[in-house]
C-alpha cells in the first residue's frame, strides 16, 4: 500500500490494486488544486487506470473548474468508481457520477465499503 497526501486529499493505492480517494476533513477541492492532485495520482498509478473507491464524506464537489479538470483525465485514472455515499446523510450524489456512468466508466454508489470493494474487485486486471 502506498499513500500520497496532497492538497487536502489522501490518495492510496491499495495492495489489491484499488485506488482510494479520501478528502481530508474540512477540505474542498478547487480548480487551482487539481493539477497537483492529478500529478500525485499519476505517481501512484502510472499509466494504468484503476478501480477507484471515492470517499467524499458528504463534501460537495461544486467547483465546476475542478470537476472539468478531473473529467478530462477520468478515463486515464479510473476503469470503474465506487462512491461511498449515504444519500440521507450526505444529500444527493453529484451529477458527475451519472455523467461518468453513462459516458466514461461504470459508477455505483455504496453505503457499505465492503460491498464497494467487492464490486470494484471485478475490475482489477490480473497481473501476468
24 lies in a domain? yes
> Model's pTM, two decimal places?
0.86
What is the tally of structural domains in the chain?
1
Using CA atoms, how far residue 61 sits from 56, 90, 108, 121, in Å, is 9, 12, 17, 26
Between 115 and 58, name the one with better pLDDT.
Answer: 115
| Residue 22 belongs to some domain of the structure | yes
- pLDDT of 64 reads 80
Structural domain harbouring 86: 2-121
pLDDT digits (tens, 9 = 90+) for 72-110: 888 899 999 998 887 777 666 666 666 666 667 898 889
Residue 55 within a domain: yes
Q: Distance between CA 37 and CA 115 in Å, rounded?
A: 27
Assigned domain for 51 exists: yes
Distance (Å, whole) CA 42 – CA 39: 5
Q: What is the pLDDT of residues 28-57, one digit of tens each?
A: 788 899 999 999 999 999 989 999 999 987
Is 127 part of a structural domain of the chain? no
Which of helix, strand or coil describes residue 121? helix
Amino acid at each position: 500500500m502506498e499513500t500520497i497526501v496532497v492538497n487536502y486529499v489522501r490518495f492510496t493505492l491499495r495492495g489489491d490494486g484499488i485506488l482510494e480517494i479520501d478528502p481530508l476533513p474540512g477540505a474542498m477541492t478547487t480548480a487551482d488544486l487539481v493539477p497537483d492532485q492529478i500529478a500525485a495520482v499519476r505517481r501512484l498509478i502510472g499509466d494504468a487506470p484503476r478501480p477507484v473507491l471515492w470517499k467524499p464524506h458528504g463534501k460537495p464537489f461544486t467547483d465546476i473548474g475542478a470537476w472539468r479538470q478531473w473529467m478530462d483525465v477520468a478515463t486515464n485514472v479510473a476503469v470503474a468508481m465506487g462512491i461511498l455515499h449515504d444519500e440521507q446523510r450526505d444529500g444527493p450524489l453529484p451529477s458527475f457520477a451519472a455523467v461518468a456512468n453513462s459516458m466514461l466508466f461504470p459508477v455505483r454508489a455504496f453505503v457499505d465499503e465492503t460491498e464497494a470493494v467487492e464490486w470494484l474487485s471485478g475490475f482489477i486486471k490480473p497481473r501476468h
